[in-house]
Amino acid sequence: MLSSIKGIEPANAITEPPLKIAIVGDPGVGKSWLAATAPKPVLDLDFDGRKSSLAGKEGVYVKSYVDIDSTNPKAIAELEADLNAFDYAKTKGEPIPATFVLDSITYCRKFTESELAKQQTNLGRQLRIGTAKLTIGQGWDVVNGNRSYLEYIINRLASLGNVIAIFHTQDEKDNSKTTYDKQGQKIVSYTGRVTVQPQYLASILSIFNDVWWLDVDYKNTRTVQTGISQEFIGKCSLKGLNPLTEAPDIEAMLAKHRAAIGATSVTK
């Protein structure tokens, strides 16, 4: 069909595309460990300052990005330099990680906020606490800039290999039902579902093939929800999985998918 148009392929021939996963969960529940079970080698791009949480994981590498001074941020520039290096290595056929993990989006967006305020000074204001100077983003341009730039970073990583983005959770606010009392104080309503923190980043979830919630059940066992429930709206491109209770092991989940479709391919 349309042989003159490059890049078209039949959807039924796509059995195991590169992974593009959003993992959502509370702090400390094990999101980084779940991401580290993806196809190796895994590179964890650590924005949370928690590389020690991956100690002892075979086939996993970590690079931490830090902005000590938010008025003179360097982390995002360093990330882009690293992405350029990976792009160059891939064009030369040199080995690069099979899986890239943004750990986490919740904190990475603070670094992008500082970079936005640095390059467009009208988007931030500076505060002082003791001897420290802090830059705080302000206005909808920062919100929209954060969303757009994070989408750009995710899509750049997806062009290199598997990409997993980690999000922290919060209770989902129902903005359509939020009201104000007589004193003008906001009365927030909630939907009863879990979403990402901050909530304005929830729109980014639409660019992922898979959106999973890592939680702990009543037996204190970690489980992965890949489908839809009353508490969380997930999605999954893999076949043969339990939509509500999968064990936290991506390689095992991929094995189930391959068995379900009768494939032996390996994600690279």
- Options 3.30.300, 1.10.1200, 3.40.50, 3.50.30; CATH for 13-261 is 3.40.50
Question: What local confidence, expressed as pLDDT, does residue 184 receive?
Answer: 76
Question: What local confidence, expressed as pLDDT, does residue 16 receive?
Answer: 59
Tell me the two tokens of residue 155: 């899509």
pLDDT at 188 > cutoff 70 = yes
Angle between helices 140-158 and 75-91 (to 10 degrees): 20
What DSSP assignment string belongs to 190-229? Answer: EEEEEEEESGGGGGGGGG-SEEEEEEE-TTS-EEEE-SB-
pLDDT, one tens digit per residue, over 127-163 is 777 777 777 777 778 888 889 999 999 999 999 999 9
Tell me the two tokens of residue 168: 């922290």
pLDDT, one tens digit per residue, over 30-89 is 999 999 999 999 999 999 988 888 888 899 999 999 888 777 889 999 999 999 999 999
Residue 230 CA to residue 261 CA, distance in Å, equals 29
Task: Establish whether the linkage from the previous residue to 104 is cis, with ω within 30° of 0.
Answer: yes
